[in-house]
Chain A
């Protein structure tokens, strides 16, 4: 009766004009802000957090899912200087992850082709 539709776990709610990602700059701490990513879960949250922590300019990076039944996540980032804003650091992290994924796809295809050549003679 009250159950939400299953697709609300991964589709943006267009009726309320939900955006995929919104940003709110932190008022009390400098060079910090929280990104709210809608209709995503640990898959993206943990991945982004781990990549952000590899960046030297990032002083703090953490994510949380405020409630398991509401499919949003909050990603809080604080950078070490005002030259690198949280937005910049996050887009750099996403860019790096994209390149890594591309590389992984390329190498997997090569490895699979090699295996097939060896095993299907």
Chain B
């Protein structure tokens, strides 16, 4: 459901001045891909913009209003900035970054960095848009709207979203008594995720095995080689637990991971509600 979580992204760009080396649509494309963060003024969290904004298609205004759009402005002229730059930098190209975008809504701003560590390591002040030289000027007015990833990937809040099943690792103690210490050591080492460990000569499940297991084949193959007869029981079995999932969500910067998860549940609920309402109409028609 992470293709349907609504976020904000720049949708319309009006160019007043563009004497840069990149053409208008190129810059507009780059502006659209900048992740835009909405911070709820009360809780100041990387928030779900769904409550604060509405889709511009449903909004009753004709042209756009603060309820469905946010205006962002950018005006950078190399010649005006040059006097303020450091001596040795004066001739180098100036990078226009997302930090130069000025928003009309104080709760809405581009997500320049994902974390403070990245901010300290970076050389620029934000996401770079275009580099300009002497005599070049970029002046644009952007309108950011709410949308979902189904319409365009710029509205996608996640970088990666995956899930896997939790493993059930069972160690057959009886069968393990027939193994020598070297064989047990081999089983511990052959698994690339290291889900087994040796404790006092016994095979046990490693501490962080639940998060690390990726259901590789090595254990099974090695065990088959060790078994005296193919029909023997396995020493260690790793199965999927079909009732427990581990979801991994990596955000692209516009929303926090937990907000994305809660938002996706909310979107699912809205879909179900909508269907339920329409179904009651059908039911009534049938009767």
- Interface set of A (CB-CB < 8 Å, partner B): 6-7, 9-11, 19-23, 37, 40, 43-44, 47, 85, 87-88, 90-91, 94-95, 97-98, 101-102, 104-105, 108-109, 112
Contacts and interface: CB of A to CB of B under 8 A. Distances in A.
B81 interface: no
Contact of A94 (B57, B150, B266, B275): B275
A98 B280 contact: no
Interface string B248-265: 000000000010011001
15 contacts: A6-B152, A7-B151, A9-B151, A11-B57, A20-B278, A23-B286, A87-B282, A91-B279, A97-B272, A98-B269, A98-B276, A101-B268, A101-B269, A105-B269, A112-B258
A95 B150 contact: no
Nearest to A9: B150
B262 A105 contact: yes
A108 B276 contact: no
Contacts of A88: 283
B272 A94 contact: yes
A61 to B, nearest CB: 15
Contacts of B283: 87-88, 91
B1 interface: yes
A88 B279 CA distance: 9
A101 B278 contact: no
A21 B275 contact: yes
A94 B279 contact: yes
A11 B150 CA distance: 11
B150 A6 contact: yes
A26 to B, nearest CB: 14
Given A6-B150, A10-B148, A44 B265 contact: no
B262 A98 contact: no
Contact of B262 (A37, A94, A109): A109
A9 to B, nearest CB: 5
Given A94-B272, A94-B276, A98-B273, A43 B282 contact: no
B4 interface: yes
- Quick one: which of B258, B262, B272, B274 has the most chain A CB within 10 A? B272
Interface in B149-181: 150-152
A88 B1 CA distance: 26
A100 B89 CA distance: 59
B271 interface: yes
Given A6-B152, A105-B262, A105-B266, A20 B282 contact: no
A101 B265 contact: yes
Nearest to A90: B279
